[in-house]
Structure 1
Amino acid sequence: MRRLVYLVAVTLDGFIAGPEGGDPSGSEFLPVTPDLVEHLVASWPETLPGPARDAMGVTDPGTHFDTVVEGRASYEIGLDAGLLDAYPHLRHLVVSRSLAGRTDLPVEVVDGDPLERVRALKAEDGDKDVWLVGGGTLAHALLPEIDRLVLKVNPSVIGDGVRLFAGPFSPARFEHVGQVDLPGGVRVVTLDRVR
């Protein structure tokens, strides 16, 4: 069965964006350093947005994911940059009630139960996983189906912002299965759910 993998950058205190939300990439607390880009190109090329892939000449389809799922706020980061589909190389789903009925978007809008849709995605045939790119509210809603965390842990503390999992108390256990320490200070930590 395919897995749902939440791969995201996070601060030491568990935030994926600042208090105002928006695109945290390249911020002071979640910088996109050359060593991180090199790691992503080598290990997770399908997680790079289409324009970045084009600019760097990345054509590798990747070996981990064929589908990306994200919430409306995360999707709007791409829209604000003029991208209707930041990941045209992947099947792209956006969980949003406010975008329901839009036929002009090149993504699948999921306006119903995201857990039900993700369970259906995981049950499909295939050897590639489903990538959850964000945000924190959707990650919390999908927590029962998250099989793996890949956290790009940055050596920064911000005190407030968009939480890695934004929602009520809901314990889940994961175990450490791997780690890559990058020269710039980011630790790419992989954890699998304990079932």
Structure 2
Amino acid sequence: MRRLVVCSIVSLDGFSAGPGGDVTALPFDDGFDLYCAERLRAADIVLTGRSSYELLRSYWPGVADDPNASDSEREVSRQHNAARQVVVSDSLTIGEDEPWSATTTVVRRADAHATVRELLAANEILVFGSGTVWNDLLTAGLVGELHLLVGPTLLGAGIPVFRGPPTPLRLLEARQLDGSSLVLHRYSA
């Protein structure tokens, strides 16, 4: 069995988004992009919920060809554009002419656990954002590693990164990302 890795940026006070779901309140930097590109290269599948998928799809497809984007942003875009995407949603529909339509599969919430178990037999799965999805998968025992990229920002309110029952984790690594203000906390679940 391969593993499911959750990668999430989080404020120092434990929020994955600011008030109103504002993810731009978090301290994204070049180190974040470099780490995400590294994780994308290691993954066979990117798993998200509908909201995260729509946010990623609205931003990343064109960045690969944007001369104003950084090298790391263009790399993240190329990796996302090439990735097999699986979206957990009961409401998402994808038009044939939309970015990533040829590489995206939508799975109903009721089928998510069974689908993830089946995919884990032969695939490394990466989850970006998608707190509702990964909190549910963590509670179900399907998350192998949790990579929290903790930034030097106090939001005071917003969407908490964790929304489940008490869950013991084992610290595997803690280090500051090169050229970044973010500290990686890597846990096994």
Which TM bucket (shorter chain)? 0.7 to 0.9
Q: How does 1:51-62 map to 2 (within 5 A)?
A: 62=41
Partner residue of 1:69 out of 26, 44, 47: 47
Contact kept in structure 1, 2:61 and 2:81, CA below 8 Å: no
The unaligned stretches of length 5 or more in structure 2 are 63-76
What is the RMSD computed on CA atoms of the aligned residues?
Answer: 2.4
Give me the whole-angstrom Cα distance separating, in 1, the residues matched to 2:168 and 2:33.
29
Give me the whole-angstrom Cα distance separating, in 2, the residues matched to 1:184 and 1:45.
16
**SS of 1:156's equivalent?**
coil
1:6–1:178 CA distance, 2 compared to 1 (3 A):
same
Q: How does 1:10-89 map to 2 (within 5 A)?
A: 10-21=10-21, 24=23, 27=24, 29-41=25-37, 44=38, 46=40, 62=41, 64-81=42-59, 83=61, 87-89=80-82
1:83–1:136 CA distance, 2 compared to 1 (3 A):
same
Deviation at 1:37, TM superposition (A): 3.6
Report Cα offsets for 1:119-146 as digits up to 9, x if no partner: 111122x5xx210112111111111211
Report Cα offsets for 1:3-25 as digits up to 9, x if no partner: 11111111122211122225x2x
Give me the whole-angstrom Cα distance separating, in 1, the residues matched to 2:59 and 2:34.
23
1:83–1:184 CA distance, 2 compared to 1 (3 A):
closer
1:76–1:149 CA distance, 2 compared to 1 (3 A):
same
Partner residue of 1:188 out of 175, 181, 184: 184
Deviation at 1:79, TM superposition (A): 4.0
Deviation at 1:148, TM superposition (A): 0.5
Name the amino acid aligned to 1:91: R
**Aligned match of 2:133:** 138
Name the amino acid aligned to 2:142: E
Query: Percent sequence identity over matched residues?
Result: 30
The unaligned stretches of length 5 or more in structure 1 are 47-61
Deviation at 1:103, TM superposition (A): 5.7
Q: How many residues align?
A: 164
Q: Is residue 171 of structure 1 aligned with residue 169 of structure 2? A: no
Contact kept in structure 1, 2:39 and 2:126, CA below 8 Å: no
1:176–1:65 CA distance, 2 compared to 1 (3 A):
same
